[in-house]
Amino acid sequence: MKLWDTCIRPMLAKKAKPFDSDAWIFEPKWDGTRCIAFIDCEKKYIRLQNRRLLDITNRYPELKLFEDCDCKKAILDGEIVVLKHGRPDFYRLQEREHQEDIGRIKLISRVMPAVYMVFDILFFNGKELLHVPLIERKDLLDRVVSDSKRMVKTMFIDTYGKRFFESARKKGLEGIMAKYKASSYEIGKRSSNWLKIKASNTMDCIICGYTLGHGKRSRYFGSLVLGCYKDGKLVHIGDVGTGWDEDTMKYIHERLKRIETKQCPFKEFEDTGKRICWVKPSMVCEVEFLELTPQLKLRAPSFKRLREDKIGRECIIEY
């Protein structure tokens, strides 16, 4: 029962381009929060754990997943999403992630309910499944889980990754995942047996500081100073100054004020003459951009959202 009694770092994927192969399956890439779900159907118990190993169960009281599983105990892997017109809406998800008041959480769970998009099973009725081939785990998952308003099994197709990617892109999805049929589940590892194929360029970056704002932004900040790890070293990859509304700016600014520091987190930093307030490199955000230059600078970055489920060490330059 060792796996049941611990926290589990999810298996991660490497970046790739669309391809076809009958040795792989292809499924949608959900724009949500990665979540490991520990489910005890006999005790009607559930524990939801994010990528940072934090317990987020209380944040999603509507996800009583034990009602949709035919088992004694199971550990599932999937993503929590909030839908709008049938598609994941990360703005709604972000609002869910920022709630701390119990009364507010209960209210918003009824107005903007979350859905658990499950795609893997790691443990079933006392048996660990980490070394069972993925395609067999998928078959078991299909027999254990029933689709409901709370939980939906992620669909997948065989062989035709290029066609599936184009379909996902046209529907406005974030991209697709490619997974090797015979792959085991590699806890905490970014594996070449799982690949992420994105429809646009996005990167998870560490917020390392912020510049002072002017005009309407004078109460908050002008731009966020971003960094990522390259060969184990934290490097400056540019600043982002667009992509948020005033409420988001206010929320980010309040969070940044709590972690201000006088020390620049970069060993090497080219002074641009801007006045920068440095912060401890602990907050992660996702940005969209046109390209990464040979000098490792983001071109035309735009803020997409905070990533409450990720830690700074996960922000690695993959391009």
Same domain, 218 and 273: yes
More confident residue, 3 or 172: 3
Same domain, 65 and 156: yes
Domain end marker among 198, 231, 264: 198
Count Cα atoms within 13 angstroms, Cβ side, for 195: 19
Q: Which amino acid is at 14?
A: K
Same domain, 73 and 118: yes
Asked if 240 and 224 count as a contact pair (C-beta separation under 8 A), the reply is: yes
Q: What are phi and psi of 39, to 5 degrees?
A: -125, 125
Same domain, 223 and 178: no
pTM of the model: 0.81
More confident residue, 305 or 1: 305
pLDDT tens digits along 102-129: 999 999 999 999 999 999 999 999 999 9
- With respect to residue 2, please indicate whether it lies within any of the assigned structural domains: no
Query: In this predicted structure, what is the pLDDT of residue 226?
Result: 97
Query: What is the residue-wise DSSP string for 105-127?
Result: HHHHHHHS-EEEEEEEEEEETTE
- With respect to residue 1, please indicate whether it lies within any of the assigned structural domains: no
Q: Is 59 left (phi over 0), alpha (psi -120 to 50) or beta?
A: alpha
Same domain, 80 and 188: yes
Asked if 285 and 298 count as a contact pair (C-beta separation under 8 A), the reply is: no
- With respect to residue 3, please indicate whether it lies within any of the assigned structural domains: no
Same domain, 178 and 269: no
Q: Tell me the average pLDDT across 148-154.
A: 97
Q: 220 lies in which domain range?
A: 202-314
Same domain, 44 and 164: yes
Asked if 38 and 49 count as a contact pair (C-beta separation under 8 A), the reply is: yes
Tell me the CATH number at 276: 2.40.50.140
How confident is residue 27, by pLDDT bands cut at 50, 70 and 90?
very high
The count of domains in the chain is 2
* Residue ranges of E strands in the chain: 12-15, 21-28, 33-40, 45-49, 73-84, 87-88, 114-124, 127-128, 151-153, 157-159, 175-180, 190-198, 202-211, 224-230, 233-240, 276-288, 291-292, 298-299, 302-306
Query: In this predicted structure, what is the pLDDT of residue 318?
Result: 81
Tell me the CATH number at 179: 3.30.470.30
Same domain, 217 and 296: yes
Same domain, 135 and 212: no
pLDDT tens digits along 202-227: 999 999 999 988 888 888 999 999 99
- With respect to residue 5, please indicate whether it lies within any of the assigned structural domains: no
Q: What are phi and psi of 169, to 5 degrees?
A: -65, -45
Same domain, 39 and 125: yes
